[in-house]
Structure 1
Amino acid sequence: MTGAQLKEELIAYSKSIGIDKIGFAAADVFQQLKQRLIDQQELGYQSGFEEPDIDKRTNPELLLSGASSIISIALAYPSKMKDAPKSVKGERRGIFCRASWGRDYHHVLREKLQLLEAFILEKCPDAAVKSMVDTGELSDRAVAERAGIGWTGKNCAIITPEFGSYVYLGELITDLAIPPDTPMEEQCGSCNICVDACPTGALVQGGQLDSNKCVAYLTQSKDFIPDQYRTKIGNRLYGCDTCQTVCPENKKKDFHLHPDMEPDPEIAKPLLRPLLNMSNRDFKEKFGHVSGSWRGKKPIQRNAILALAHFKDETAVEDLLHVMKVDPRPVMRGTAAWALGKIGGEMIENHLIMAKEQEKDENVLSEIEKGLQMLKNEQIS
């Protein structure tokens, strides 16, 4: 079988197993990406979640001996939630980003890639294959761009003509020679909407991201969120969609092609207060199947506290007092103290003063002081 014949059969097979888009690229070194990653590293823009070895991220040969081709796949996910519950006074809700709606996409894409692997090995038993999704060494976006899936937008996402940027990406490296597709021309032009709309200015310029400022990264961190970004989090529990929702290429793009990706509204947009005292077991049972759970419950709970402060939800004061007084984790106690100061109210000051007398952790004491200062500023104004 020739590479061209295999390509045609793979395209047909991919459609039969629910892959929305497939593209093919040569497994050459990603030279432009390599330089960009070096620049990112020198500027301190990396999040720390990436593969640290830049050579592995840019040279497929280091991942699969004899690498010749890379197959890129894309699956479209929904951008709108059916029957989304309202966030109302007394029942405030947080939100998971669209990429964390439905079943964890890592599992969904891996299953598709495993089917592709099996198909290739059935046709070419001696072939070598290696697939990866997101957490692999290669850059999914760089592969997708080279394979003609879409272009890299100024929001640092792959934008496809068919589905916008609402796509999950994965890839498969093989030693088989398969004719490559033509990369797509960048089509953002002079549009700068996503860069201007970024809540924290993380999109330094079109196509360059300072991960340490990105709300999506901040919501996944486990430490205290820097003061200057706390009010930018809003009610986001995991991830951020702003640079996608404002993109003109995403207008009217909403695809419901995969039942696994349909969100459960009570999980994708959960009530905030019940999150604060959720046990590890309860968290895993409710959220364990979504990608937003990968860092555990701590970041989600901290973000829920910030969301309650964002809403100035007075009905949550008792819950926040409980967290501030008894939670064993300093980040939770401190964030709750800050949130109480943000919400305000006559009784809060006394509780913060009492907590200050009992608290031993320096970071938490600093947050209590911030809470007291906010109350003082509120009284002056």
Structure 2
Amino acid sequence: MTCVTKDEIREFAYKSGIDIVGFASPDCLFKYRDLLKNRYENGLSCNIEEKDIEKRINPYYFLKDVKSIVSIAVSYNIVYEADSPKSAYGTISRTAWGVDYHKVLINLLEKLRIFILSKCDDAKTVLLVDNNPLLERAIAYNAGIGFYGKNNMIINEKYGSYLFLGEMLLNIYFEPDKKVETKCGSCTRCLKACPGKALVGEYKIDANKCLSYATIKKGYLSDDTIKKIGTRIYGCDTCQDVCPFNKTAKRVIKDEFIPRGLKPKHDLKEILSLNKEKFQEVFGPTSASWRGKNTMIRNAIIASINSNDKNAIEPLKSLLDGESSYLRGYSAYALSILDGENSLPYIEKAYFKETDVSAKMFMKKAIKKIRGEVFEDNER
């Protein structure tokens, strides 16, 4: 007889605030080796994904004597209606509402670990929440948490797809739970709605086209991406928002996921004016903080362009003279669209003293846009 049962683990987990619990075999990921290889070879994976395929499919890297994986899911489909500010705003994905979900789920997993240790003296565990290369959604699928949607999200019939996932690697064997097969049927709403056209087929995604990835990708974005990103500051929920399962999914009351400093529709001018201290105050407690201040400001610059926000002009002029060459380039481009000839003297002044090649390229692009002619700086 095992020192603790699946039912006992589930009962404790549900009382602790975990919504769904499933059990998977540590070998369940090996079958994804060829799929991952195909994605890499066809350019469908993005640069934040782990390149070592074995690390993505082999839990034994993290716990040598792992015998089971306990998969948990916590719904973030909270009862909350976001207010729209009177000024122009940028949108924040539900994943970044409230307290950083990594901290919330690690805390829940730690409570579960302590419970299991109270029953099993020799238990060994490793707790994981989006801080490792293992295929979390594949683990959740194999643990019966839900089925794969055509948007590649894990969908649970009761809670929908607004789910945070976490795992506990455990050296105690439990019989794996049964997988849930897809219930999408002929529905293609997510494929049609995807603004980045990242869903290149049913159950197939080009991560490089996903706008959620675009909002965290560092550096300069293509003109096409700048247009498609709209007013998104962090993440994109479109493929989940249109999913029929989320229309009828259970709403939950979880105070930790209620937005506080960072609002779902956040004032653009405030984001454009962020200093380090204010960034930590607004973004710091959330899961959106990890990419840093400059990337969020870049996205706010793009949002100001796409919303034609004239209130952004003065903050943009400040950024044009700021410390970040990256933001100086973007600010010049935004000012050429929002303020036209009025900002030409500011952009030209910035251009002739700029030393960063990429920023200078964007400034030159801005000057050409305003003048409507070929611009030559005649520098020798």
Give the TM-score of the pair, scaled to structure 1: 0.92
Correspondence for 2:126 = 130
Correspondence for 1:85 = 83
Q: Does the CA-based 8 Å contact 1:79-1:253 persist in structure 2?
A: no
Task: Pick one of 332, 337, 341 that aligns with 2:332.
Answer: 337
Q: Which moved more, 1:245-254 or 1:342-351?
A: 342-351
Amino acid at match of 1:142: A
| 1:44-99 deviation line (CA, Å, top 9, x unaligned) | 222232333211211222321222111110000036643x23243xx211121001
Matched position secondary structure for 1:270: strand
Correspondence for 1:351 = 346
Matched position secondary structure for 1:267: coil
Correspondence for 1:372 = 367
Return the offset for 1:199.
Answer: 1.3
Does residue 227 in structure 1 map to residue 226 in structure 2?
no
Correspondence for 1:40 = 39
Mapping of 1:192-271 within 5 angstroms? 192-253=188-249, 255-264=251-260, 266-271=262-267
Return the offset for 1:316.
Answer: 1.6
Return the offset for 1:286.
Answer: 2.0
Amino acid at match of 1:92: A
Return the offset for 1:266.
Answer: 4.8
Q: Which moved more, 1:118-127 or 1:366-375?
A: 366-375
1-side partners of 2:176 and 2:25: how far apart? 6
2-side partners of 1:283 and 1:292: how far apart? 11
Q: Which moved more, 1:230-239 or 1:258-267?
A: 258-267
Q: Does the CA-based 8 Å contact 1:74-1:167 persist in structure 2?
A: yes
Q: Does the CA-based 8 Å contact 1:79-1:98 persist in structure 2?
A: no
Amino acid at match of 2:253: L
Return the offset for 1:207.
Answer: 2.1
Amino acid at match of 1:85: D
2-side partners of 1:345 and 1:252: how far apart? 47
Correspondence for 2:289 = 293
Q: Does the CA-based 8 Å contact 2:28-2:142 persist in structure 1?
A: no
1-side partners of 2:124 and 2:290: how far apart? 30
Correspondence for 1:26 = 25
2-side partners of 1:214 and 1:332: how far apart? 22
Task: Pick one of 74, 90, 93 that aligns with 1:94.
Answer: 90
1-side partners of 2:206 and 2:32: how far apart? 16
Moved over 4 A (4+): none
Matched position secondary structure for 1:27: coil
Q: Does the CA-based 8 Å contact 2:76-2:163 persist in structure 1?
A: yes
Correspondence for 2:59 = 60
Quickly say closer, same or farther: Cα 1:274–1:265, change in 2 above 3 A: closer
2-side partners of 1:79 and 1:348: how far apart? 44
1-side partners of 2:168 and 2:323: how far apart? 44
Amino acid at match of 1:351: Y
2-side partners of 1:29 and 1:59: how far apart? 9
2-side partners of 1:125 and 1:245: how far apart? 44
| 1:228-269 deviation line (CA, Å, top 9, x unaligned) | 100111111111111111112111436233211112275333
1-side partners of 2:263 and 2:150: how far apart? 30
Return the offset for 1:312.
Answer: 1.0
2-side partners of 1:197 and 1:377: how far apart? 35
Correspondence for 2:358 = 363
Amino acid at match of 1:360: T
2-side partners of 1:255 and 1:293: how far apart? 26
Quickly say closer, same or farther: Cα 1:251–1:323, change in 2 above 3 A: same
Q: Does the CA-based 8 Å contact 2:313-2:339 persist in structure 1?
A: no
Q: CA RMSD in A?
A: 2.0
Give the TM-score of the pair, scaled to structure 2: 0.92
Amino acid at match of 2:2: T
Correspondence for 1:185 = 181
Q: Percent identity?
A: 38
Correspondence for 2:2 = 2
2-side partners of 1:43 and 1:80: how far apart? 40
Q: Does the CA-based 8 Å contact 2:28-2:139 persist in structure 1?
A: no
2-side partners of 1:286 and 1:265: how far apart? 5
| 1:165-196 deviation line (CA, Å, top 9, x unaligned) | 00100011112111221000111222222122
Unaligned runs of 5+ residues in structure 1 are none
